[in-house]
């Protein structure tokens, strides 16, 4: 089984190299992606493939249910490196309909450690509970998938990393998208945030209080 993967890899590398001689040698010198993708770990949502980008074009962070927890130093470190060092211009939070993590958050079964991770999604449900009452189960999952993207877009914007970038005048937009595993298409949820004035005042950091390096 694993031999198949290694065979696939050799064929893949050959294909790219024959279409674009020197591709890997050039990439080995540097990466300069313009986008950071924050998506679900689900095997049906492969980041590069669904947006048609090659190695070197997309910086990627994936976890179960595309959550941006403000105490997750893994996700925060990815955002910080992407924004401060790579100077990416767009952060795309991409959820997907039928997300298993979101479904798990909507029932009361125990799944182990991951229930603590998915608690964040139960909080979103709880906050919007009245909107769910008239819906059937599938529509509930889909609505919670969309509300989760919106929440994670806000979480990205509320980080000191993104706000400091805006304070420096760095061009940076945060987007919320959702992918359908039924037809392979992405829908823009029209949640794009380009600056501090678009975030709730309680979460704004005062630029005058920026740590001074001098």
Cα distance between residue 40 and residue 38, in whole Å? 7
Minimum separation from the CB atom of position 96 to Co ion (A): 6
Give the active site residue among 61, 96, 158, 175: 96
Rounded to whole angstroms, how far apart are CA atoms 61 and 70? 15
State in angstroms the smallest separation of the CB of 152 from Co ion: 12
Binding mask 40-59 for Co ion (x = CB under 5 A): x-x-----------------
Min dist CB 139 to Co ion, Å, is 17
**Residues 6+ away with beta carbon under 8 Å from 79:** 36, 38, 61, 68, 91, 156, 159, 161, 162
Place of tokens 């600056």: 195
Q: Which of these is catalytic: 75, 99, 145, 157?
A: 99
Sequence-ordered alpha helix ranges (H) in 30-113: 47-50, 73-80, 100-105
Beta strands across the sheet bearing 35-40: 58-63, 35-40, 90-96, 173-179, 186-188
By CB under 5 A, residue 67 contacts Co ion: no
**Phi, psi angle pair for 140, to nearest 5°:** -65, -45
The candidate with the shortest Cα–Cα distance to 100, out of 182, 43, 166, 172, is 43
Rule CB under 5 A: say whether 141 interacts with Co ion. no
Region from 32-40, 82-90, 103-111, 152-160 binding Co ion, contact rule CB under 5 A:
32-40
Give the binding range for Co ion (CB under 5 A) out of 37-45, 80-88, 108-116, 200-208: 37-45
Number of residues that bind Co ion (CB under 5 A): 4
**Which range touches Co ion (CB under 5 A), out of 39-47, 113-121, 172-180, 194-202?**
39-47
Catalytic sites, residue numbers:
40, 42, 44, 96, 99
Name the site residues for Co ion (rule: CB under 5 A). Answer: 40, 42, 99, 101
């Amino acid at each position: 089984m694993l031999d198949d993967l290694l065979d696939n890899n050799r064929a893949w590398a050959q294909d790219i190299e024959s279409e674009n001689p020197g591709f890997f040698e050039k990439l080995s010198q540097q990466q300069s992606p313009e986008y950071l993708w924050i998506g679900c770990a689900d095997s049906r949502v492969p980041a590069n493939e669904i947006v048609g980008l090659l190695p070197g074009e997309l910086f990627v962070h994936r976890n179960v249910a595309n959550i941006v927890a403000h105490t997750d130093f893994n996700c925060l470190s990815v955002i910080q490196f992407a924004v401060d060092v790579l100077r990416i211009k767009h952060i795309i939070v991409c959820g997907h309909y039928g997300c298993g993590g979101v479904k798990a958050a909507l029932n009361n079964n125990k799944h182990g450690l991951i229930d603590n991770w998915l608690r964040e999604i139960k909080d979103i449900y709880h906050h919007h509970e009245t909107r769910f009452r008239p819906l059937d189960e599938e529509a509930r999952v889909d609505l919670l998938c969309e509300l989760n993207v919106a929440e994670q877009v806000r979480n990205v914007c509320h980080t000191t990393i993104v706000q400091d970038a805006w304070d420096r005048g760095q061009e940076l937009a945060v987007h919320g998208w959702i992918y359908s595993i039924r037809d392979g298409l992405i829908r823009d949820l029209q949640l794009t945030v380009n600056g501090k004035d678009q975030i709730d005042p309680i979460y704004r950091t005062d630029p005058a209080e920026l740590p001074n390096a001098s």
